[in-house]
Amino acid sequence: MESELPNPAQSGTDWSLEEVAAVVTDYFAMFADEVAGRPYNKREHNRALQAVTGRSAGSIEFKHQNISAVLAELGLPWLRGHKPRFNYQDALAAEIEGYLAGIPDLDAAPASPPIAVRTLFVPPPARQTGPRNAAMERLVRKFDPAGRDERNRALGFAGEEFVVEVEKRRLHAAGRSDLTKKVVWVARDEGDGVG
């Protein structure tokens, strides 16, 4: 059986292209499971990558967070439990570019509002606080920002519609159906400038 202990000689060294490819493939395998609602074990994935790369568990976790950062910069969803960390190497952005290129119509697909909402309030997305590197700039240009803005507006509209419907249902459930007509969708009905 191969040792799962990290290789101390690799500590502090750049990841090779093979290691980067392995971690990106693993990340998107977990992401596919999460999207499909299939259970997966982050620790098992991490151990498998340790055996392949010789990297430490912390180093692999950090690299997964780097992948989340690239996806966050592109306005794409990222894996829960891997908060974005933005200091990634160019090779990682290039590998993600290659991976995403294999997904047809990734940026053209309209965003659909979620069917079930777990929580009404979510934190704002993480933002990068520095200049982008050349690999990330090239990757960002491949995505249609106007299309993404249009999808974001559609998602915002759906969210507002959801909140108005929730409020009407709460009034109805409280026996005050007479007040449902007084619920006003201000941004749509009175204008966006109201605040």
Which segments of the chain does DSSP mark as H helices, in order? 17-36, 42-53, 57-73, 90-101, 134-141, 145-173, 186-189
**Global confidence as pTM:** 0.56
| 148 and 96 part of one domain | no
Structure tokens at 93: 């952005």
- Residue among 91, 41, 42, 56 nearest 70 (CA): 91
Structure tokens at 25: 């493939």
Which residue among 102, 122, 143 closes a domain? 143
Structure tokens at 87: 């200091």
Residue 94 belongs to what domain range?
1-113+130-143
Decide if 94 contacts 133 (C-beta within 8 A): no
Half-sphere exposure of 143 (CA within 13 A, CB side): 22
| 35 and 93 part of one domain | yes
Read off the amino acid at residue 152: N
pLDDT attached to residue 123: 62
Residue 56 within a domain: yes
pLDDT attached to residue 173: 85
- Residue among 3, 85, 67, 56 nearest 30 (CA): 67
Count how many domains the chain has. 2
For 54-76, letters b (16+ CB in 10 Å) and e give bbbeebbbebbbbbbbbbbbbbe
pLDDT attached to residue 6: 53
| 25 and 102 part of one domain | yes
91 vs 97: CA distance, rounded Å = 10
Read off the amino acid at residue 33: D
178 DSSP assignment: G
CA end-to-end span of the chain = 63
86 vs 84: CA distance, rounded Å = 6
Per-residue pLDDT of the chain (195 residues; tens, 9 = 90+): 344 445 555 666 889 999 999 999 999 999 888 888 899 999 999 999 999 999 999 999 999 999 998 888 887 888 888 999 888 888 898 899 888 887 765 554 334 334 444 455 556 666 655 666 777 777 777 776 777 788 888 888 888 888 888 888 888 888 998 998 888 888 888 877 666
Residue 28 within a domain: yes
Decide if 63 contacts 23 (C-beta within 8 A): yes
Residue 120 within a domain: no
Residue 118 within a domain: no
| 10 and 91 part of one domain | yes
Residue 125 within a domain: no
